[in-house]
Chains A and B, each alone.
Chain A
Amino acid sequence: MAHFYLHIRNGSGYVEDLEGQELPDLAAARVQAVEGVRSVLSEEARHGELDLRGSIEIADGDGNILLVLPFKDAVHLRLDGTGM
């Protein structure tokens, strides 16, 4: 287990994760990040506005950024109208 911090960077600014979470490894932290982004986007969809320009920065206890997950990588978007 290791401590990971999942900071959010998007249009409305930077949300620092001060507390972090104990997780098995970086892959588990990425899963948390993906689920977190999807949860945030689902709320935005509810309000009728989706902003995919943000990202989650996964950092370790020393502040090193280990992985950056752009919001758009947490979802599959189909916008071209094929199959409609």
Chain B
Amino acid sequence: MIERHLLKLRARASVSAEEEQAIRDAVKEVRTYPADHVIIRAHERLTFSTLLLDGLMCRYKDLSEGQRQITELHVSGDFADLHSFTLKRLDHNIMTLSPCTVALVPHEHLARITERHPHLTRLYWFTTNMDAAIHREWELSLGRRTAISRIAALFCEMQLRLGVVGLAEADGYNLPLTQTDLAECVGLTPIHVNRTLKELREQELVRFKGSRVTILNWEGLAAIGEFDPSYLYLEPIPL
């Protein structure tokens, strides 16, 4: 059930059998949601955190006329709102982009982990810092990268993040995003995304069709996206 989560953690640090059991014991309930369902609304009082077991989710904020900015994508194994353990409410919304299975972890159970498992606590601290690193990279994209570079960088990021949890093959992965979702990730419009995807296809870098990302030329895609994976902290971390 939490196997993908363990893969994500163990890519960076060891997780002992005891710590693994503590995570399993912390889960109170497993829920499933359909696609396009807002599971957490900004500013509602939260008493549990959401661990994404299976599916694709996003964090987003929006403006008064409904213009939505997706600020991060979450893949299977991500503790999507570990943030709420200390924040108690989120300043953004969390929505499913595909059918999702999540585990609810009450904050009191997380408090127990912090009291009894200092190493695992540091590992969870690391994962929230990693979310911040991903946000900074997206900020760079939204503020400075060109349209083609934004999409290229995002496709590179997802290849590596999904790879960590065993959901990417060498030549690509499933990404159940509509062109509107993708536009909301990269701050463009669906028309602009469509045109940019054509450019990426014509340059034989990547193809995105029917929820499948097919990497045609990894080096070329990473070059056009100025993608440097160091912000994903894929190396073992001494915690």
Bound-state CA distance A43–B189 (Å) is 12
Closest Cβ of chain B: how far from A25's Cβ, in Å? 16
What residues of chain A lie closer than 8 Å to B146, measured between beta carbons? 43, 46-47
Q: Give the nearest-CB partner of B187 in chain A.
A: A39
- The residue of chain A having its C-beta at the shortest distance from the C-beta of B195 within the complex is A15
User: Which residues does chain B contribute within 8 Å of A33, judged by CB atoms?
Assistant: 191
Whether the Cβ atoms of B194 and A8 lie closer than 8 Å is yes
Given known A-B contacts A15-B198, A43-B147, A46-B146, A56 and B191 have beta carbons under 8 A apart: yes
Contact across chains for A40 and B195 when beta carbons are under 8 A apart = yes
**Complex alpha-carbon distance, A4 and B180, angstroms:** 13
CB closest chain-A residue, reference B196: A43
Report if A59 contacts B (CB, 8 A). Answer: no
Shortest beta-carbon distance from B147 to chain A in Å: 5
**Pair count A-B, CB < 8 A:** 47
Contact (Cβ within 8 A) B188 A39: yes
Judged by DSSP, the binding face of B is helix
Best-buried of B147, B180, B191 by chain A (most CB within 10 Å): B191
Of A13, A18, A37, A47, the residue contacting B191 (CB under 8 A) is A37
Q: How many residues on chain B are close to A (CB under 8 Å)?
A: 14
Residues in B neighbouring A73, C-beta threshold 8 A: none
Contact of A36 among B178, B190, B198, B209 (CB under 8 A): B190
Does B192 reach chain A (CB closer than 8 Å)? yes
Contact yes or no, B179 A36, CB < 8 A: no
Q: Per-position contact with B for A7-49: 1 when CB-CB < 8 Å, else 0?
A: 0100001010111010000000000110111111001001100
Contact B189 A35 (CB under 8 A): yes
CA gap between A46 and B146 in the complex, in Å: 9
Chain B residues near A13: list those with CB within 8 A.
198
Q: Contacts A18-B209, A21-B180; is A40 near B190 (CB within 8 Å)?
A: no
Interface string of A55-71 (1 = CB under 8 A from B): 01000000000000000
Please, which residues of chain B bring their CB within 8 A of the CB of A37? 191
B194 contacts A17, C-beta separation under 8 Å: yes
Which chain A residues border B194 with CB–CB below 8 Å?
6, 8, 15, 17
Q: How far is the CB of A37 from chain B (nearest CB, A)?
A: 7
Identify the 5 closest CB pairs spanning chains A and B, nearest first. A36-B191, A39-B192, A39-B189, A36-B189, A15-B198
